[in-house]
Amino acid sequence: MKISIKKALVCCLLFAGATAMAQQPAIIPVPDQMTVGTGAWTIKKSATIGCDNAQLRPAAEYLSQMLSRATGYRFAVKNGKGDIRLTLANEGNAGAYRLSVTGKGVTIEGDTYRGVINAIATLRQLLPDDIESQQVVARTWTVPCVTTPDAPRFEWRGMELDCSRHFFTVDEVYKLLDVLALYKIDKMHWHLTDDQGWRIEIKRYPLLTERGAWRIYNNQDTVCMKRAAEEDAPDLQVPVARTRRDDKGRTLYGGFYTQQQVRDIVAYAQVRGIEIIPEIDMPGHSLMAIDNYDGLSCFKQTGWGKLFTTPMCPGKDTMLEFCKNVWSEVFDLFPSRYVHIGGDEVDMKNWKTCPDCQKRMKDHHLTTEPQLQAWFNHYMEDFFTAHGKTMIGWDEIIAGGLTANSAVMWWRSWAADSPKQTTSHGNALICSPNSEFYIDYQEDRNSIPAIYRFDPVKGLDAKEQQLVLGVQANLWTEWVPTMNRVWYQAFPRVIATAELGWSKPQTMNIDNFTSRLVAHLPRLQKMGVTYRIPDLTGFYNVNVFTDKGVVDVKCADPSATIRYTTDGSIPGVNAQLYAGPMTITETTHFTFRTFGPDNRKGDMVKCSYVKEDLAPAVTADSLKEGLQVAWHDYDGRDCAGIDQAALNGTYVTTGIQIPAEAKGNIGLIFNGYIDIPADGIYTFVLLSDDGSYLKIDDTMVADNDGEHSPREIIGQHAMRRGLHPIYARYFDHNGGQLRLRVMDDKGNDVQVRFCH
């Protein structure tokens, strides 16, 4: 066989390219460029860290401590050159850096201090996973020779931590900051006050923490403890260490940060290049302040309404003074340019009857209560501006008008025009829409792709795009009582957020990210991060077969083990080990569960393998296109009672979807037929927020009922070609989502006809 020189050269180049790709380090976020050289730098015990600028001394000390922990080496820090050299270019591109590793050492050049910190994060990832060990590891420490110029796409790559609903200790916050720094997250939005707890010491108002930081167990605590028992989930158990007894012998839950502890946390974060933004929520979500100091609410009677709590009273001067006094102390603790006032979910009904509020409105020529909130926001923003601060509010602050300086944090995914409204007015925008970035929602197989493919500048012109500061993942902790649960909820979704905020679209690839993420799991284990073990794959919620079924379950985490039961019980560490594909011939109901390498309990998932004959088609005359759907004014918590609620109207839809007319309390009932194009087993993917279910041929195909965040349930049904009766229900109370996909037995989407 003859091979031309040209073909041989092409083969060599392809092989060389493949080898280079194989050797490309698994860096997250993916850098702009990274050139991998030959060889490596071996770290010696005598290695030193040099810096040529006093501003970089904290970064050098941080790097020394980080490296010393696992290597056992001293890493002396000195002025000038060292085996690892830190320098500043002072070019002002916040976060950009250049990293060079040769056989002689490491050179880091950052355009700012934060750029140097970002380079340290990359260097940290170039080292073996053992560098994250909390004890000395006896091994040879090498770093591959690479060069990389790198810079962030957005300046804001954030995570919000809610410490009001459940409290986390200083050491736990430190550990979170260490992990955030590894992935170049540079903002931590700290939610410190809410209806469930006031977590920051304010010396002028000591009752805020003496009483406001503690509560008798509320429904969030009891639900967590109930789930901990029912789901065999220790990370949902409320820690006893967060409780104390009051003088009546009652158990109180809580905790707070002293001002010195806040200073320590802020300083710890600054060294790691992380800016902490405090949120003191007002005028809503302020029950712990209102209940402990007079003159803050409209009336003496306070508490919970149907959805939200009694807000502060913007008509009272005592309330305005309180707010300014609180923020004055907060300013002294947080050097951040930004402060967050909240401003969301305000129940304004008391303002309508409050004499003080109505007088304030009359004095300032306001005609609606939303305008009164806007007045309060502007009043506080003037106070912030006078102290050199920029106010951030949730996107509700758009109502009533934005001022020139405030920044908007967009969270309501259903308010899709918020980014355009904000940026077209000239205001800065941070994207954190709940459908993608609320990481307290249960993660599923769609969560990471949804974050990764999110476009923060969609629909904005070039000028408006410049006002997008970046992206943020938000962790609300109503159902997150422990740090292990924080890790479970936040990781790996925060890592995907980090790459979205840092990397350029042209360098991003979801499949490549997934493979790099899997490579990072051992590193997270070394750090003690009890991340969510990836979803099991290879099956649906309901799997149908007509003769034999094959159970072929997989997990992307190579360190995970899979165990199962078939009697409906929760699999424990001694349950049947899943060892590979199984063939079944009868209907079987499985409960699978993953376990980490330390027998850490992961998610469990129930699925059924159902033996079915092909369901016969039916005949029907005089059919019309589309499905009949009835919209009921329904405010329940499951699908069962929809038909008992008042009927708002009937409509025809082209499929399982929310009619455009349906708003507010939505309860939908669908009736009609689905026209199947050929005999076979079909797959139905039902996405809803909140609950839904789907029946075909009077068989439950996908049961997605109950209150929950966006969630997919996937089921199968075997059918003959032709018409099959279809019936579905859905409910939600605030817009929601509803979608149905149909796939054939090869996993291809099928365009089916619906009729009635």
Q: Exposed, middle or buried by CB within 10 Å (0-12, 13-18, 19+), for 142? A: middle
Whether the CB-CB separation of 510 and 452 falls below 8 Å is answered with yes
Q: What count of other Cβ atoms lies within 10 Å of the Cβ of residue 651?
A: 17
Q: Phi and psi for 532 in degrees, rounded to 5? A: -75, 120
Total residues belonging to the chain: 756
Q: Which tokens is 710 given? A: 């966006």
Cα distance between residue 204 and residue 210, in whole Å: 12
Within the chain, what is the greatest distance between any pair of CA atoms?
A: 97
- 580 is written with which tokens? 């590979």
Q: Quick one: DSSP state of residue 272?
A: T
**E-state strands within 321-465:** 338-342, 390-394, 407-410, 429-431
∠ CA(504), CA(270), CA(31), 5° rounding? 20
The predicted-structure confidence for 190-240, as pLDDT tens digits, reads as follows: 999 999 999 999 999 999 999 999 999 999 999 999 999 999 999 999 999
- In the numeric block, the tokens 């009582």 are attached to 481
Strand partners, 405: none
In contact, 86 and 116? CB cutoff 8 Å:
yes
User: CB of 670 within 8 A of CB of 656?
Assistant: yes
Radius of gyration of the chain (CA): 28
C-alpha angle 319/325/331, rounded to 5°? Answer: 135
Residues 496-520: tens digit of each pLDDT = 999 999 999 999 999 999 999 999 9
| C-alpha to C-alpha distance for 232 and 228, rounded to whole angstroms | 6
pTM beyond 0.75? yes
- φ/ψ region of 287 (left if φ > 0, alpha if ψ in -120 to 50, else beta) reads alpha
Burial of 13 (0-12, 13-18, 19+ CB in 10 A): exposed
How far apart CA 156 and CA 121 sit, in angstroms, is: 17
Residues of the chain with pLDDT under 70: 1-22, 92, 304-307
The CA–CA distances, whole Å, from 635 to 82, 220, 414, 661, 668 equal 67, 21, 19, 17, 12
Cβ atoms < 10 Å from Cβ of 665: 18
Q: Can you read off the two tokens belonging to residue 46?
A: 């005598």
Cα separation, 729 vs 726, whole angstroms: 11
Q: Is 204 exposed, middle or buried (0-12, 13-18, 19+ CB in 10 A)?
A: exposed
Q: Whole-angstrom Cα distance, residue 241 to residue 244? A: 8
pLDDT of residue 180: 98
Q: What is the DSSP letter of 403?
A: -
| Residue 126 per-residue DSSP state | H
Three-state DSSP class for 369?
helix
Residue owning tokens 């031309």? 4
pLDDT of residue 300: 83
Helices vs strands, H then E, count in the chain: 19, 39
Q: Please, are residues 694 and 717 in contact by the beta-carbon 8 Å criterion?
A: no
Q: Which of 111, 163, 411, 132 is nearest to 276 (CA)?
A: 163
Query: Would you tell me how many other CB atoms lie within 10 Å of the CB of residue 79?
Result: 12
Q: Which two tokens stand for residue 223?
A: 């639900």
Neighbours of 253 (CB within 10 A): 23
Q: Quick one: pLDDT at residue 306?
A: 65
Whether a cis peptide bond, with omega within 30° of 0, leads into 492 is yes
Domains in the chain (CATH in brackets) are: 24-150 (3.30.379.10), 156-526 (3.20.20.80), 536-611 (2.60.40), 627-755 (2.60.120.1560)
Contact 726, 629 (CB under 8 A): no
126 vs 748: CA distance, rounded Å = 40
Sign of CA dihedral 574, 580, 586, 589: positive
Q: Which of 717, 733, 644 is nearest to 674 (CA)?
A: 717
Distances (CA, A) of 119 to 83, 273, 466, 697: 15, 11, 25, 60
CA-based nearest residue to 142, from 12, 39, 55 = 39
CA distance linking residue 561 with residue 593, whole number of Å: 8
Which 3-state string (H, E, C) describes 447-511? HHHHHHCCCCCCCCCHHHHCCEEEEEEEECCCCCCCHHHHHHHHCCHHHHHHHHHHCCHHHCCHH
Give me the amino acid identity at 313.
C
CA nearest to 756, candidates 682, 643, 670: 670
Given a contact cutoff of 8 angstroms between Cβ atoms, the answer to whether 666 and 733 are in contact is: yes
- Residues paired with residue 191 on neighbouring β-strands, in sequence order: 162, 279
Please state whether the peptide bond connecting residue 144 to the residue before it is cis, i.e. omega within 30 degrees of 0: no
In sequence order, the 6+-apart residues with CB closer than 8 A to the CB of 352 are 358, 369
Which segments of 111-259 are extended strands (E)?
142-150, 156-162, 187-191, 193-194, 197-198, 214-216, 243-245, 251-254
- The pLDDT value given to residue 20: 42
Tokens of 139: 């091994």
The residues near 739 (Cβ < 8 Å, ≥ 6 apart) are 656, 657, 686, 687, 688
- Which helix (H) or strand (E) is 727 found in, with range? strand 722-732
Query: What is the distance between the alpha carbons of residues 131 and 178, in angstroms, rounded to a whole number?
Result: 13
| Contact yes or no for 216/203 (Cβ under 8 A) | no
